Structure 1
Amino acid sequence: MKIDVNNISKNLNTPLTAPAYPSPPLYKFNDREYLNIYYRTDPKALREAVPEPLEIDEENPIVRFELMYMHDVTGLGGYTEAGQVIPVSFNNEDGDYIHSMYVNNFPAIASGRELSSYPKKWGNPKLYQDNETLVGTLDYGTLRVATATMGYKQIELPKETALEEICRPNFMVKTVMGYDRQFRVCDLVRTQITDVTVKGAWTGPARLQLFEHALAPLADLPVLEVVGASHILTDLTLNIAQPVYNYLEKK
């Protein structure tokens, strides 16, 4: 059966007869589980990692290494993500710049990059309990690039604190290349999760190791000191990203 022009324009993505991901209005996450490790890093390296016009706190150069186990996501199933998030400010609003994300689910990668601007690429993260320890690992190919550990549910964290931690606005860079190899879209975008229910939150002693890798360069933001950690279990909704700054207009 021929696919006419009108039907082509209604398809969100390709292949036309078997799209890479479905298109619900908003992705809903049930039992999304976070392991967050906050650490102090080299301020020069942090400045080089964050694009303008975002601003960092140079006196307190902090990075969050996050591992997220998605138990149940509408249209995408279950998967795990890991990456680095950097506290920033934009137009006097505090938020987080998503620096990198490694994901073990292709539909989640494709939809995150195409529908929004999440900097996702393939990786193999895991989050699991090992006796009295919560463990998060990230492998790229056959090599380990990150190992995070935290005492399992040792100290309860106020739910208000957990909400403040995960509900901050997220900033990312969206790029779309044209056939002429010139940018058609180059935007700074903003998004924020909503409808959040914190089911549990804890903190405790934590450690983080990052290992050098040419194509998964997490260690370019080295761990100088671990300053905090959290383990959070939530339900939430992921909202659509909106452009807030057009780099092409500023050239």
Structure 2
Amino acid sequence: MRELSSSTAGRPQSTALGLLLELAHFTRKEAQACLFAGAFFAAVMCVPRAGVLGLPRYDVLLLIAVAIQAWMVWTGRETRDELKAICLFHALGFALEVFKTSSGIRSWSYPDAAYTKLLGVPLFSGFMYAAVGSYIIQAWRLLQLRVEHHPPYWMAGVVATALYLNFFTHHFIGDYRWYLAAGALGLYARSQIVFRPHRVDRRMPLVLALVLIGFFLWLAENIGTFFGLWAYPHQLGAWATVHLSKWSAWSLLVLMSFTIVTNLKHVKATVHVPR
């Protein structure tokens, strides 16, 4: 991360104490941005696999996820427009879950029973994708994000759509993930994220931010499978870490989520698209 400028009248903070203060504020705001995901995964770790009061675990987690989402809107942490985007994340994620867990694919499975399963997929699963969108939206507000050198929206939309479709089509016509990733890397090569942890604007390449978020989502996926929320074929006998290749899949999914968020009206004002 590079320092840009100070928002105060004095010189930019460059001392070790100043950097630690910036890091402390960055950590605090990142934790706030992860509010939905953090609360949900706390529920995953606390709700017993046997369920609560006769209600299956997946159903309890759905009720908790809905309650968290409703609370965030009610308290103003998310607007109704942002909720619409989050619902889109939920729908896209759920469609992917239905396909990936279908009898002909079986990329992973949800082993436990539930009343709120649809086409073999518990309804709470869409909230895991919605949590990614919620994080990006919250981070945008809390860290006062701006994007410099964002590609034209139509190009970003084409790449995001192709990435999403590849999650389905690679089972039939080959995996073009790395070709699409290379195209996205070229498209976003100049894109920079500018953010303000406390008093000083910082920046990092957008691609690096996507890769870092993808890594933490890969860690979260390991936590989810460790607690038996879902399972990959190689985890059915005994738990094992999620394949590292899922890191790249999550990073590309974050790019798709990022593309949706940048189309929100109030976010577009902070996105610079060169002419």
TM, length-normalised to structure 2: 0.19
Higher helix share: 2
- Kindly indicate which of the two structures has a greater share of residues assigned to strand: 1
